[in-house]
Structures are given as C-alpha cells and as structure tokens.
Amino acid sequence: MTIQITPLHPLFVGEVSGVDLTRPLGPDDARAIEAGMDHYAVLVFRRQDITDEQQLAFARNFGEREDSRGGSVAKKEDARLTSGVNDVSNLGKDGKPLPKDDRTHLFNLGNCLWHSDSSFRPIPAKFSLLSARVVNPKGGNTEFADMRAAYDTLDDETRDEIADMICEHSLMTSRGALGFLDYSDEEKQMFKPVLQRLVRQHPVHGRKSLYLSSHAGSIQGMTVPEARVLLRDLNEHATQPQFVYVHKWSLHDLVMWDNRQTMHRVRRYDASQPRDMRRATVAGDAPTVQQQAAE
Ligand code: OGA
Ligand code: MN
C-alpha cells in the first residue's frame, strides 16, 4: 500500500494513510513523509499502536534524536520512562497523576502556552512526534498554528521591521509568565537564555516563518517592555483561528509537527485523570542565528 496524504485544513496539516509505524519504513516512504512534512508542517497518523522503541525508530528516519537534558525540572531518578522518549504525560513514577502542587506538574503546565519545542536550546528541534497512549476524558486538545501563513499575512512594514531581529528565549520566560519563578542556581544556569532569529527560512522550500514561542522574552537592541509588546502583537496575529488546526486526540494517534514552521499548545484537561503522551524529538542541525539574513 502506498502512502497517501489528505489535507485536514485549508493551509496546512495532512492525514497520512497507508503506513504501519510498528514496522521499519522503506526509503521511499521515509522520503514521502519528509516531503509531506515540508509541505503540510503537521501530519496526523491514526491507529498506530506503537511501543517507545518503534516511535523512536520511526523518528530516526528524519534525523538524530535530540538530547532531552536541560528541558525540565524533573530529577533523573524520578523519571517514569527510560526508553529515550520525552514524557509529556501528567504521570509520576507510580503511574498516577502527579499531585496538583507537584513542581514538575506546575512546570509542565508551560505546554499550555503557544510554543515551538526547544526554542530555548541553541540548536532548536526539527520535528516532534507525539503519541497518545492514554487519552484524558476532558479537554487536552493540541492546537497548531501555521507560522508561514502568519508571516505571509504580516503587512510589509512589519515584515521589514522584524526581518533581522534576534530574540532571547528561555524556559524561565514561559514558566515565569505562569508565575513559576523559583529556580535553583543549577536550574538558572541550565535555563540561561539563547538567541533565535525572529524570522527563519525553511531549508528546503525557502518559505519564511515567524519564529515565535512563549520562551521568547526579549529582542536584541530593544527594551524588554517594548519587545514584549511587539511579541504579544505578533503572537496575537499568528494564532488567529484561520491559522490554527485543533487536534482532538483518539487513542494511538501519532501527530508529527515541524517546529521550524509551526507553534503548538495543549489545552487544559482533567489533571486528576491520566493523560499519557510520549514525544520523540528530532534534533535540528544549526543555530537559527547562523541563517542568512532574510532577503
Ligand atoms: C510537546 C507538547 C502538547 C500535548 O510534547 O511538545 O507541547 O498535547 N505537548 O501534550
Ligand atoms: Mn511542545
């Protein structure tokens, strides 16, 4: 059976059929999916009952695995999963939902803010692949915004103004916006801000996108309040309903997105009930500040 992709939204997002992710992917299928990612930026695969190992093996077709260190306040010894996937569930080592006041739970609530994965790393992530192992009974949709369309629809004046802007991104900015402000010295060191271009260009098709994320807290050469007002305006523009796809999860869905061309967020859900989501993350290949100035 050959791979088919059906659009799920007027601007981006495709649903892929004709592929079984429990089995190794042939080179033609891997190429078709990567090309689909370049075009659609988000791909949905339904009814894929996979193990962590199969999820990681599928992700490996698109690049190296991103090292997850430095992305959380969870202690290594408290990890529920040791397979190499990122645990984005609300579960502790005992398999039960984390208590309401648990520090890791509070930190993870940052995923409810619009972001691009790992924009707080010097080399941010390329793709993320999220697999639904237990679906929460209430809420918990994941929303995606097309940042190419967001860029394309800016007025010329704004496009010129932001063309070469460089932002500082840190996990302390996104978490700080939720009032999570207490960090150990080691965490402060780990979450030091990194630089990212505000406009980036896709390496294959060359389309530009607005590279926003709730981790972004300042812009070089601007005062912080001035920068934050601009970033808020851009975020408001970029997340208008016409640029957004809402994914309602079914058990064993796998959704794969390109962090270079999209933002995403999870909506609130019933924290007293399990939501087991696991992410394989494909590393990016270069800092965005090394990209050519946008022409
Ligand atoms: C992620 C993330 C959203 C969700 O895995 O990067 O933001 O729906 N997850 O859990
Ligand atoms: Mn995320």
Tell me whether residue 44 is in a domain.
yes
Q: Any idea how long the chain is?
A: 295
Which ligand is nearest to the Cα of residue 254, counting in written order?
Answer: 1
Query: What is the rounded distance in angstroms from the CA atom of residue 162 to the CA atom of residue 136?
Result: 39
Q: Is the CB of 266 under 6 A from ligand 1?
A: yes
Query: What is the rounded distance in angstroms from the CA atom of residue 52 to the CA atom of residue 91?
Result: 16
Domain that holds residue 153: 4-282
In percent, how much of the chain has pLDDT > 70?
A: 98
167-199 confidence digits (pLDDT tens): 999 999 999 999 999 999 999 999 999 999 999
Tell me whether residue 293 is in a domain.
no
Q: Is the CB of 167 under 6 A from ligand 1?
A: no
Q: What is the domain count for the chain?
A: 1
270-288 confidence digits (pLDDT tens): 999 999 999 999 999 999 9
Q: Angle at Cα 207 formed by Cα 205 and Cα 209, nearest 5°?
A: 140
Tell me whether residue 71 is in a domain.
yes
Instruction: CATH number of the domain at 77, please.
Output: 3.60.130.10
Residue 68 burial class via C-beta count within 10 angstroms: exposed 0-12, middle 13-18, buried 19 and up: middle
Tell me whether residue 288 is in a domain.
no
196-242 confidence digits (pLDDT tens): 999 999 999 999 999 999 999 999 999 999 999 999 999 999 999 99
Tell me whether residue 287 is in a domain.
no
Nearest residue (CA) to ligand 1, atom 2: 111
Tell me whether residue 291 is in a domain.
no
Query: What is the rounded distance in angstroms from the CA atom of residue 240 to the CA atom of residue 242?
Result: 6
Q: Is the CB of 173 under 6 A from ligand 1?
A: no
What are the CA-CA distances from residue 53 to residues 23, 56, 128, 133 (Å)? 11, 5, 15, 14
Tell me whether residue 239 is in a domain.
yes
Pairing label, strands 14-17, 42-45:
parallel
- Residue 276 sits at φ, ψ, to 5 deg, of -105, 105
Q: Which atom of ligand 1 is nearest to the CA of 111?
A: 7
Tell me whether residue 169 is in a domain.
yes
- DSSP summary character for residue 282: B
Which ligand is nearest to the Cα of residue 88, counting in written order?
Answer: 1
